Amino acid sequence: MAKLIAVSIDVTKLDKSKFVTGKKGTYANLTISLNDEPDQYNNDVSVWEGQTEDERKSKADRNFLGNGKVVWSSEGQAEQPKAKKYVPATEDSLPF
């Protein structure tokens, strides 16, 4: 089953010390959870910063970044989101 998920994260919460530099760019590892039931705002997706194995074993607090919702499913369960005006980011508007 295919799904399309839309999320919104607070990039100011990203821990820059966890960024990974690769051959083609700098990456932030994120974990996305698809929940069975939507919350009070109809969000059924949660996003947090990825954790190391040691952080998971020690039950360290997750760095919650945002949430989202399934906007399309091959089963036809989700609704299409309303179109929003695209505003491109500029260097001045980025927090890092």
Q: How far apart are CA 1 and CA 78, in angstroms?
A: 13
Average pLDDT in the 62-86 region? 74
What is the residue whose two structure tokens read 């839309």? 6
In 10 A of CB 50, how many CB atoms?
A: 16
Q: How far apart are CA 53 and CA 29, in angstroms?
A: 13
Nearest to 33 by CA among 65, 79, 78: 65
pLDDT at position 57 is: 97
pLDDT digits (tens, 9 = 90+) for 5-52: 999 999 999 999 999 999 999 999 999 999 999 999 999 999 999 999
Q: How far apart are CA 66 and CA 47, in angstroms?
A: 5
